[in-house]
Chains A and B, each alone.
Chain A
């Protein structure tokens, strides 16, 4: 653990140094709530997908991060993954949120695993594989996590293209039994 705490600007600078052109964008957001308006700090980084491991390693060098979750978004052309990390936990009002964003084009839905650095990322990576249909390289366990075993292959619930949930898969509870009910009422009349 590093004793000297970096400012958010210095954290971004460190990423700049180790990633070079791989760091495509960065912004720092500060939000405050309550009477004293204590600030919470968020760092948002956009990086090239080939640099994900270097970026996570860089984060580990600052402080072993807490990975909250990996979230994702189907943007049409590609799938955006967001790794929500937190560093400097355990320091009163000192925690930074570091979100690493990277885009996977739909023609090349492959990303390196980070489970060798952060074993706890496994749940999240398995979830991304089944819900977005992407492939995590060298993942130690690639079984399904949340989807049932009889869920059809090639359907990815969080995709917004033709591989997403199809209309006929959605069970509309408010329509269940409506036709039968109407028939029964017509018969009783």
Chain B
């Protein structure tokens, strides 16, 4: 009768016996203990010869693996658990994909649109204006009315670096704001007496107004239009509830008052990724520079 001592190769034969599909390995598990424990080395052929009954080295673990094999995933409970697990994994992947979309893909969309808008706007500015504004009249709109979603002006903020130059589009509908910061229709155009109101995304879609909480009183906001630069200076900022539409009045928060100054008001959501409040930044026109005279002082330092 062959025993482990006959075996020429001592190592790990219990697993090998199972792996090689030797019959009878799973059966004698319970009878273990009546043979000397060190007989671990059993090559597959010894087991196959029937010696397995005494070679208990094939432990409970191996036996369980063999027994579990054919039944896996067959019972109703098992299938339900598996289905539930797959559903939960699917939900997790969906959430991860949505975050990827919000934090990354929308920025890509906006970047493409902004490149396109830049090109369009610069091209339009190089063509002669359709109806030339009377020279020297600052109170009249310099820019002809634009279609919703079209570019109105380029906003430059030296504090955000020289690369920061989003095209402000006309309109504040969801679709307009996905293209860039939007000028609220009906409020003053750049440079006009009144309030030039611009709303922009704080997060997602290129997040143009992501950092406007960093603006400090006195910071320049330069608005570039066809033939000139309007330099505004920040006069203050505050956080308000979303229903405070009076910050968009010609004179902010003083409805009905006739404006005498050219103002700018930037609005965005606050805090980031929330709709609970709005962050408002106010500014006032301090300087108008013709493009023929070169860059305005606020942009020269770059």
A associates with B: no
Residues on A close to B: CB < 8 A? none
